[in-house]
Homo-oligomer: A and B are copies of this chain.
């Protein structure tokens, strides 16, 4: 499993390679197709640890491909990647970010820094548990959850952005 909390300086190419490698493997296992476009979009989403919007991805794709795609192309690729659990959607930002732990199903829980926009994915069983507990008390059966926490990350706080 990749590091959930990226060091602020790290070999990011490694993150990308690992994510793409993992995706290929999972898609192969599942008998679904990680097509060129889908892999390109996944790579672009993984360009950094900041959630990125569909139209920014569209531009980035255009720069690479010298062939202008249209929104459905991106959204379909994103839908596929979401279905396969390879990326997460950050609802409060209308943006997408790579999943650091695809392969086992989980709702995304994120800490999002308001300064550097980095999204840190949590694997927080205690949050899950707290939510299940509250839900259960009310007879509510949980399907999916979205937890998005905005604030200041450690690195930015150390730099005095707070």
Q: Residues of A with Cβ closer than 8 Å to B?
A: 5, 91-92, 109, 111, 113-114, 120, 122, 124, 126-127, 129-131, 133-135, 138-154, 157, 162
Contact = CB atoms under 8 A, between A and B. Distances in A.
Contact of A148 (B146, B151, B153): B146
A114 to B, nearest CB: 7
Contacts of A142: 149-151
A141 B150 CA distance: 8
Contact of A138 (B135, B150, B154, B162): B154
A44 B134 CA distance: 28
B141 A152 contact: yes
Contacts of A146: 91-92, 146-150
Contacts of A145: 147-150
Nearest to A144: B150
Given A141-B162, A147-B147, A151-B141, A127 B135 contact: no
